Amino acid sequence: MKVTIRDVASKAGVSAATVSRVLNKPELVDPETKQRVQAAIKALDFHPNAMARGLSVSRTDTIGLVIPGINDLFFTELYRGIEKACSENNMKILLFDSQHSRHRALEGFTFLRRHQVSGIIFTSKLVDQDYDALFDRIGIPVALALTEATGRTPLPAFKVDDVRAVFDVVAYLVARGHQRIGMITGESEDDRTGLLRLEGYRRAMLHFGIGYSESFVTSGNYRFDGGYAAMQELLKRQPINQLTAICTASDEMAIGAMRCLHDHGLSVPDDMSVIGFDDLQIARMVIPSLTTVMQPFEEIGEQVVRALLQRIEQPSELPRQGTYYMPHRIVERETVKCLNSSTSEEQLEKCF
């Protein structure tokens, strides 16, 4: 039924080994026989069985990718970089969606192991000591994107410096005359990112002598609705807080917050400045378009693949361990109002 390498071999009047050679090392085979074999392959519409091959060479040229959720808008941006780097090194990708569940993520590792992936990229979510036991025995290189390892096992990780990035956001707002700056940070079990971003905010508020107050802070699940709800909460406190700007831990929450403000008859940026985090495609689609912090998703994706390939090819060395911070950048669009009369440039100077 299924046509195998042996069928091709007999049709072409050669051995299976020869067919295998024309498939994998065509330069080693006589042009004339090669022709015959290729003709047979075509005639029979033969397609080599990747599993049989993988089993034989015990290599799959596949890397596994564990992601929190395919619906997270940032994921597709990251994927582009991963896909690019993989296809350049002709690696295949095996995707596993953990659906934001730690349990599923663990299942993912099992799944990928069974499928003999050469390496695993783990995305988002905190990687803490709970994973140590896993990584110790797994025997497969692992690299991290958009997260970092806090457990004992050091792992190459690529992300932006969340603390610094939010610090920069606050500095940016301060430079534009804002003082009463609120924060909508991220939350979810297993998440350290939200904490780091909050810490950046806290440090900056202290650094600029504004002072840190919990009443300026709420949190959400990084999604639109979470941002909306968090903004609503902030609005309740607004009579006391008198915020003029909000920084958020994600573009989606920023956009949710904008919608909330809109529903309360408030205008962005005239009544309230808003600043996002991620620079997703949607950031430039909304009106007003969203000023935000760009994470270099594509580059992160590329780097994490490279790091993995390096570990795959030289498993002995331990070249790249620990966290690599990739450069972030504030993308100026339309959601931040400058409260100064002086130029923002001058002010910026003052801040650093």
Partner DNA sequence: GTGAAAGCGCTAACAA
Partner DNA sequence: TTGTTAGCGCTTTCAC
Backbone angles phi, psi at 60, to 5 degrees: -120, -15
CB 142, min distance to DNA, A: 21
| DSSP string covering 210-226 | S---GGGEEEE-SSHHH
Binding site for its own copies (CB under 8 A): 2, 45, 47-52, 54-55, 58, 60, 70-71, 73, 75-77, 79-80, 83, 92-95, 97, 110-111, 113-116, 137, 139, 224, 252, 255-256, 258-259, 262, 281-282, 284-287, 289
Angstrom distance (rounded) from CA 70 to CA 302: 19
57's contact among DNA, its own copies, none, with CB below 5 to 8 A by partner kind, is DNA
Nearer residue to its own copies within complex by CB, 267 or 342: 267
Q: Does 248 interact with DNA (rule: CB under 7 A)? A: no
Residue whose entry in the numeric block shows the structure tokens 């903004």: 231
**Is 15 a residue that touches DNA (CB under 7 A)?**
yes
Q: Which of 10, 42, 43, 56 binds DNA (CB under 7 A)?
A: 56
Give the nearest distance from C-beta 36 to DNA in angstroms: 8
**Of the listed pieces 31-39, 139-147, 263-271, 339-347, which binds DNA according to CB under 7 A?**
31-39
Contact by Cβ (8 Å): 268, 335: yes
Using rule CB under 7 A, residue 110 touches DNA:
no
CA separation for the pair 291, 277 (Å, rounded): 9
Q: Which is nearer to DNA, 17 or 318 (CB)?
A: 17
- Residue 258, contacted partner among its own copies, DNA, none, CB below 5-8 A by kind: its own copies
The answer to whether 20 contacts DNA (rule: CB under 7 A) is: yes
> CB of residue 25 vs DNA: minimum separation in angstroms?
7
With respect to its own copies, which residue has the nearer C-beta, 49 or 213?
Answer: 49
| C-alpha to C-alpha distance for 204 and 169, rounded to whole angstroms | 9
User: What is the nearest approach in angstroms of DNA to the Cβ of residue 264?
Assistant: 60
**Closer of 73 and 181 to its own copies (Cβ):** 73
Cβ closest to DNA, residue 116 vs residue 323: 116
Asked if 6 is part of the footprint of DNA (rule: CB under 7 A), the reply reads yes
Q: Pick one of DNA, its own copies, none as the site partner of residue 60 (Cβ within 5 to 8 A by kind).
A: its own copies
Length, in residues, of the chain: 352
| Helical segments of the chain, H only | 5-12, 16-24, 31-44, 50-57, 73-88, 102-114, 132-138, 162-175, 193-207, 224-236, 238-241, 251-263, 297-313, 344-351
Does 26 bind DNA (CB under 7 A)? Our answer is: no
Least CB distance from residue 88 to DNA, whole Å? 22
Three-point CA angle 185, 190, 196, nearest 5°: 40
Please tell me the count of residues contacting DNA according to CB under 7 A.
30
- How far apart CA 80 and CA 145 sit, in angstroms, is 13
Which of DNA, its own copies, none lies near 28, with the C-beta cut-off 5 to 8 A by kind? DNA
Residue of 187, 197, 209, 191 lying closest to 165 (CA atoms): 197
- Please report whether residue 315 would count as binding DNA according to CB under 7 A: no
Q: 211's torsion region: left (phi>0), alpha (psi -120 to 50) or beta?
A: left
x/- contact string, 323-352, with DNA (CB under 7 A)?
Answer: ------------------------------
User: Does residue 34 belong to the site contacting DNA (CB under 7 A)?
Assistant: yes
Measured torsion, CA atoms of residues 241, 245, 251, 256, in degrees rounded to the nearest 10: 50
- Binding of DNA by 32 (CB under 7 A): yes
- Contacts of residues 189-194 at CB distance under 8 Å and 24 or more positions apart, as own/partner, are 189/102, 190/102, 190/125, 190/126, 191/125, 191/126, 192/126, 192/147, 192/148, 192/150, 193/124, 193/126, 193/146, 193/147, 193/162, 193/249, 194/219, 194/222, 194/249
Residues that bind DNA in the complex, under the rule CB under 7 A: 2, 4-6, 13-21, 23-24, 28-30, 32-34, 46, 48-49, 52-53, 55-58
